[in-house]
Chains A and B, each alone.
Chain A
Amino acid sequence: MSALQTFMLVVDHDKEEAKRIAEGIAHGMQHHPALESTRSTALLNEIIPDVETKKATLIDTVQSLGEYINDEDPILRGKAISYLTAVISALSPKYLTRQQIQVLTTFFCDRIEDGGAVAGLEVLQGLDRFNRFLATQVAQALFSNFQDLQSRSQTQRFHVYQLLNDLMSNHRAAMRDMGDISLLGVVDIMTGEKDPRNLMMVFSILKVVMVEWDISNHTETLFDSVYNYFPITFRPPPNDPYGITAQDLKGRLQDCIASTRRFAPHAIPALLDKLDSTSPNVKKDALNALIACIQSYDPNTVSKFSITVWEVLKFEILNAQEEFLSETSLEALQLITRRLSEGVTEISQDLPLAKYLQPITKECNEQLHEPQNKQAKPAQSILSCVSAASPVSFTLVVQTVVAPVFTLYQEADGIVKQKALLETLNVLFEAATTIFGQWTTRGEELAIDNPLLEFKDQLSEILGQVLMGAAKEEVSFRVTALKGFLRLSTLRNFFQDNEIGLFVQYLDEILLKEESVGRDDLKKEAIAALAEISKHKPRLIIDITFPAFVATLPEEDEGSDALYLPTLETLAQISVERDIFETLFRRLFSKLSILLQKEQPGSVAYPRAILVTMLYVMQQRNMEQDQSIDLYYSKIVVGLCRDVAASASGMAKNRILNDPTVLDTLGRLCNLLVRSVSTEKQEQVTENVYTLFATSDEFVPLPFNQNATADQERTIIISTYLLAGLPKDSGSRLPYVTPDMSALLLDLVNRSVSSTEPAIHQSYLRHLALLVNKFLSKQDLPIAEQLFDSLQGQSTEPNSFNHATIRTIFWLAKALVLRLAPTTTHILTSLLTLVSSPDQQTSVTAAQSFSIILSEDDILSSTNGATIRLLCRQKLFTTVIPLISSRIREVNTETESITPPHIKPAHLTALSGILSTIPTSLVMPELPTLLPLLLQSLDLQTSNSTAVRKATLDTLAVIIRDNGVTVIDQTGHVQSLITRLLKTTTSDKTAFNTPRLRADALKCLNLLAANQSPPGTAPNARAPPVISPLLPVKAQVLRSLRVVLDDPRRDVRKAAVDARGAWLRGVDDAPEEED
């Protein structure tokens, strides 16, 4: 059997084998230089005595086709041609001579309708020796033989387009020189094409024609050939292997429509017509295509249609039905404005841009006659988008709009109207900012003058008059003026400094002199405005606002009405800029110094407020980069700590620095600064953690001081904050840690278990935890673990401890668990035995303390470099939850009550404490075990179970929100959950449901109805027709909630209305049908 016959046999079922055969033939040809001649064939025979090789000449190969290529059966003919194609595809690109290519091309062109011929031509046109003449020949053959292309299969059509596409890219000049022939040929061939894959290629072929051919004779034909496809309504089938989306097609089609300005007379009216469509999607496509055209056509062409476009888009904007349509329309208007501004240097009313803007500004001016009406807002948006397009358009708009607005303003018959007009001006100010920038904008200034400058005095007068002259209760009117004034004050090169200064004075006056009105919106805006100005003109704030504000700060807090609080708050919010902050600091520090020297300094709230103000601003700033950090360090950390030491020794003029709240705030300030200062300074702090920079004859440090007074004990607050700010490696250089930390830790524990003042006790606990968690070296960990065990063992009665001791045990445990000490499991188990204590007080306190372990802490925090291992949450959860769960089961199944009644609630309390500090992702896998426990927590109907139930409802809310009803349904607890939630919503006096609990239970009910489909599924995704698991309880829920609508508390009623609404709307009898 010949190679050809074999090929024809296998080609249908084994493409690979067929290819191998063809390659074999090709291989044979190429291994001999002159295979065509009969003589060389003989030679070849000597070299490769192979039957296949002997036949392997091109002529032989062609000749061997002889009997098949004229066969009546087109399939047979096709196979024969494919054989030839397969052979030449396998040849190296340099092998065929020019003459052979020519012969083969002619051969394939003659046979172009037979299968494989197109593929053969495809190979040939890619060869170097294929010339433009041949390209023309192939194109001709395609155009004349494939008039009926659309009746052929998709694959065949695809190959034809592919050949055409390759001719276009490899032989474009030849194709272009064919002129109208190729233009019409392409259009004829593709007309009627519907397959998305083919269309992708057709569009890109056509785009080349549109851009590079002379299309003047056939513009409309060419335009229609693509525009017929508009709008694209294609929706890819599910699991489409080709991955062509509607958006891909839309993009290519849009490129064609926008490809040449010659289309403009056809494209723009046609696209505008499509805006009459009732389908928002069609309108969106039309608008996007329009934008593409405006972007691509030249300004002259755009200009011709600009007013027509405006006339149509006007309706889309003024009567907006869909927001995205009006937004896209505005985008189109802005783009036209920008295109028409290109290259314009002189402003005149004869510009095409000016002619385009005239009807726009006219329409907007008309709408603004009734500025409080609905369509005034879109008119403002139009002005905003066209004026912000370019400096020229801004100037033209300002010239035609501002003066009429002023006139309307003067004639306006009410504040509502005036306010709406001011809003219009604000829109223009915003556009001005876009064009001209702010004071802080870098880069070149525009050559063109700001046209608003002409109206500067008028604007300043009107705005000032409204801001300061309008009735005090017209808050939103005044806020509008304030916002306008602020815009103009930050606008680059607009106001002089003294004009901005006037505005600053107005703001000062509002903040210092005016009474509060309503929600205090005006004051809030005034503070924000001062803060904004401080970025642009800090000097004005320092020179005007500071003296005015600081002058109102009292020498001391005399009365009950702390008027200095709003002043300090304002100062804090406007002082984030560096220069301003340093000024603020100096002024506040001197106030504080004076207070500290007074015999009768008034309430400690005032010095504390001053410290909070400093703290607030420092938290907003990056203190490590602050160049004045050393000043703050020496004044606050060194100076004030020394004062604290003096106060503790009774050597101060007053007791400000003996107050725990003042000390706590000062401590936070020190903590922040210690973290930010240089290593050298941190070492100073390390040495002075307990001495507080005082000399030994002035102050006795607290540790091991057995006779310490309460005043001296309180210095532990400052010491703790200092310690927290130090780097981890300072552990070995701390005082009292040689040979090891055990003595210091024991001293702290002894103080802690007997401490009675809460602030001091808290500091002991944190101090202890910091040392153990952050500074204790790994090899010294047993010291802390032994301390923990000895604390556990030293109770007088079995498992009975006082409150302070239990807290100490838990804080020590916290320090160890967070760093995952080797004995973590042992520690956690020991803590649970405390919960099982027969002593009710011990059990309850221990249960409540479980939330301490993982809860965030301001001092033992990662900011302060505490060792918090990622896995500690997991560890705690997996160790403790099974123990709690089995203990509760044990209690539940007891036939006789041998366990004291407090044990079960205590375990549920511990559980809720842990759950409140654990991310739900950890909780979810354990939900089947946990949910029954949570439901039992809701059953605790006693007054002291409020906290547990609150925590449980919080946990449930998160579970429902993140995972939907499905997870609850899977555990089979929907009904029991609903019953308990409803029980928690009753305001019955016997039910012990606080308003907070009732509202939280209602929130859970609301979330259930709102999260019926699992998260992640899009709301409009085709949901499987399942019946909601909530349906069986719908009637029960609606009935019960109707009663809750009469709850005595407003917040609860609101939650009930929302929950009921969610159930009415969300829980359907039948799943909705999609159309």
Chain B
Amino acid sequence: MIPATTTTLTMTEIQNSNPTILDAADLPTRLRSSPKTADHGLFTAVPLPADFDSASSDSDDDNLMEEPIDEQEIYDLISTISDPEHPISLGELAVVSLPDIAIKPTLPQVPESPLQTVTVLITPTITHCSLATVIGLGVRVRLEQSLPSRFRMDVRIKEGTHSTGDEVNKQLADKERVAAALENGALMGVIAKMMETCQ
């Protein structure tokens, strides 16, 4: 139950005090395929004389190129959320990972529909983590705040990674329970703190 979860928040004892941590440098990132081929700072630092006159050369600044929302973008939105127990990001703790994010059309039978469903599978650091619901809610809130309205959120515990995964999933999927939880001041305080580190 969600109210039960909020009471565990006041517990000072830490459930998993020594989780495995990934190196931030090893997390998946979007490689900027720089259009300026040779990115040798040294040589671009000295302007070519022809550069002087063209003060406003926004050459790549056109509206033609579309960059659809992809899994990496979802990952970037949620991987910097902090774990409620540790001041460490969900990405570094491998609670969220790129292969566990999927974007699919919500109505595959209606190809022209813009509706999309984002599925995020969460892997708790230990199988009995009572904070899994809070983490799931945090991810949900972050996505709801950051994605356009044509996106549907499906945040779930990855199968086999949590002892009461089904129970937690039921809570996360229940719109009314989620809405009720978000009315809870203490819980929202925890979630706001988790999102402070979002970049």
| Interface residue ranges, A against B (CB under 8 Å) | 278, 318-319, 370, 372-375, 377, 416, 419, 475-476, 479, 518-519, 521, 562, 565-566, 568-569, 572-573, 609, 612-613, 615-616, 660-661, 664-665, 668, 717, 758-759, 762, 848, 851, 858, 946-947, 950, 987, 989, 994-996, 1042-1043, 1045-1046, 1048-1050, 1053, 1057, 1060-1061, 1064-1065
Contact indicator B14/A572 (Cβ below 8 Å): no
Nearest chain A CB to B146 CB, angstrom units: 4
A1036 to B170, CA, bound (A): 34
A419 closest partner in B (C-beta): B23
B174 within 8 A of A: no
B44 closest partner in A (C-beta): A612
B179 within 8 A of A: no
A644 to B37, CA, bound (A): 31
Of the candidates A370, A572, A994, the one whose C-beta lies within 8 Å of that of B63 is A994
Residues in B with CB closer than 8 Å to A519 are 29, 31
A521 to B147, CA, bound (A): 32
Contact indicator B49/A762 (Cβ below 8 Å): yes
A605 to B42, CA, bound (A): 14
B17 closest partner in A (C-beta): A319
Residues in B with CB closer than 8 Å to A475 are 25
A1060 to B14, CA, bound (A): 33
Total B residues in contact with A, Cβ cutoff 8 Å:
49
Contact indicator B14/A374 (Cβ below 8 Å): no
30 contacts between A and B (CB under 8 A): A319-B14, A370-B20, A373-B19, A373-B20, A419-B23, A476-B26, A518-B31, A562-B38, A569-B40, A569-B41, A569-B42, A569-B43, A615-B46, A616-B46, A661-B48, A661-B49, A664-B48, A665-B46, A762-B49, A994-B58, A995-B61, A996-B61, A1049-B67, A1053-B69, A1057-B77, A1057-B145, A1060-B146, A1061-B146, A1061-B198, A1065-B192
| Interface residue ranges, B against A (CB under 8 Å) | 12, 14, 17-23, 25-26, 29, 31, 38, 40-43, 45-50, 52-53, 55-56, 58, 61-63, 65-67, 69, 73, 77, 86, 88, 145-150, 192, 195, 198
Contact indicator A1060/B25 (Cβ below 8 Å): no
Contact indicator B46/A612 (Cβ below 8 Å): yes
Residues in A with CB closer than 8 Å to B26 are 476
Contact indicator A1045/B88 (Cβ below 8 Å): no
A1046 to B149, CA, bound (A): 8
Contact indicator B145/A1064 (Cβ below 8 Å): yes
Known: A372-B20, A1042-B149. A994 touches B43 (CB 8 A): no
B42 closest partner in A (C-beta): A569
A375 to B20, CA, bound (A): 9
Residues in B with CB closer than 8 Å to A1064 are 145
Contact indicator B38/A1048 (Cβ below 8 Å): no
Nearest chain B CB to A748 CB, angstrom units: 17
Known: A372-B20, A1060-B146. A612 touches B42 (CB 8 A): yes
B56 closest partner in A (C-beta): A947
Contact indicator B49/A717 (Cβ below 8 Å): yes
Residues in B with CB closer than 8 Å to A758 are 49-50, 52-53
The 10 lowest CB-CB distance pairs between A and B, nearest first, are: A1046-B148, A759-B49, A947-B56, A1045-B148, A1057-B146, A1050-B67, A1048-B66, A664-B49, A375-B18, A994-B61
Of the candidates A609, A851, A989, the one whose C-beta lies within 8 Å of that of B55 is A851
A1042 to B143, CA, bound (A): 12
A851 to B23, CA, bound (A): 46
Contact indicator A616/B20 (Cβ below 8 Å): no
A377 closest partner in B (C-beta): B21
Contact indicator B52/A762 (Cβ below 8 Å): yes
Given pairs A373-B20, A616-B45, A994-B58, 19 additional interface contacts (CB within 8 A):
A370-B20, A372-B20, A375-B17, A569-B40, A612-B42, A616-B42, A616-B46, A661-B49, A758-B50, A851-B55, A946-B58, A1045-B147, A1045-B148, A1048-B63, A1048-B65, A1050-B67, A1050-B73, A1061-B146, A1065-B192
Residues in A with CB closer than 8 Å to B38 are 562, 565
Known: A566-B40, A612-B46. A1042 touches B23 (CB 8 A): no
Most buried by B among A950, A995, A1060: A995
Residues in A with CB closer than 8 Å to B23 are 419, 476
Nearest chain B CB to A1049 CB, angstrom units: 6
Nearest chain B CB to A714 CB, angstrom units: 10
B192 closest partner in A (C-beta): A1065
Of the candidates B40, B50, B58, B65, the one whose C-beta lies within 8 Å of that of A759 is B50
Residues in A with CB closer than 8 Å to B50 are 660-661, 758-759
A1065 to B145, CA, bound (A): 11
A857 closest partner in B (C-beta): B52
Nearest chain A CB to B55 CB, angstrom units: 7
Contact indicator A989/B150 (Cβ below 8 Å): no
Residues in B with CB closer than 8 Å to A609 are 43
